[in-house]
Amino acid sequence: MNYGVRDYAGGVADLTTLRLDQLMLGAMASNVANGLYIIAVRLSEVTTLAADAIAKALMPEVAAVAERKAESLWATSLRLTIYLHALMLAPLWLGAPYILRTLFGESFVSATPAFRWLLFAAAVWGWASIVISGLRGFGYPGLSTVGRFAGAVVTAIALVILLPRLGITGAAETLVCGNVCDRNVVTSDSRVGNQRARSPSAKRPLRRSARLKSRTIWPRFDG
């Protein structure tokens, strides 16, 4: 129950980050702008499918295997996700206007700037999902929730500033800001949690589940 409550709040924050832009666009922008933005969002979300699949398989594996193997698996999954997005991002970024023109027609090419920003936002979201899945597997859902709430707050503030000035491109840039904040805060909290776990004050014997929490919870990339 305690684990679920800590993770549930992060899910609510995720929903805010992902849908607040469309709610505000519906109130502040025209139907045409809304249509262009929704098309750009849906196309960019296709690039997150691989990261989502890896993240869903990663959490139970991290929770089940030995510590060293879990850490290696986490780092390998994150590297793989970064490489996959790097391979997809460049051609999609360059080909964005041609993709929109081919799939939807000339009138949708104006969504190109928003689509390009959303591709980057989707990449950062995919990387963050791997980090969050690893934290969940090691028993740290609260740390991931802190990062996701920080991302939601940044998204809300940036939308108020950028949406009236830049329209759908501003909304897309806002998602980048929110997702980068989410990723950075989760990373920072992971390192803080590791420092606390290594504190000399923790002297009492630990059960296996607690020993998992005393490990280095940020994956190393040197192996």
Please check whether residue 28 is in contact with residue 164, taking contact to mean a CB–CB distance below 8 angstroms: yes
- pLDDT beyond 60 at 213: no
In the chain, beta strands by DSSP E: none
Angle between helices 2-28 and 141-166 (to 10 degrees): 0
Distance, CA of 103 to CA of 188 (rounded, Å): 41
- The more confident residue out of 115 and 204 is 115
Out of 43-47, 132-136, 186-190, least confident range: 186-190
**Confidence category of residue 106, pLDDT binned at 50, 70, 90:** very high
What letter would DSSP give residue 106? G
- pLDDT tens-digit map of 121-134: 999 888 888 888 88
- pLDDT beyond 50 at 223: no
- pLDDT beyond 90 at 152: no
Q: Whose CA is closest to 135, among 181, 182, 189, 207?
A: 189
Both tokens of 169, joined, read 């491109």
Place of tokens 């990339």: 221
Average pLDDT over residues 58-80: 82
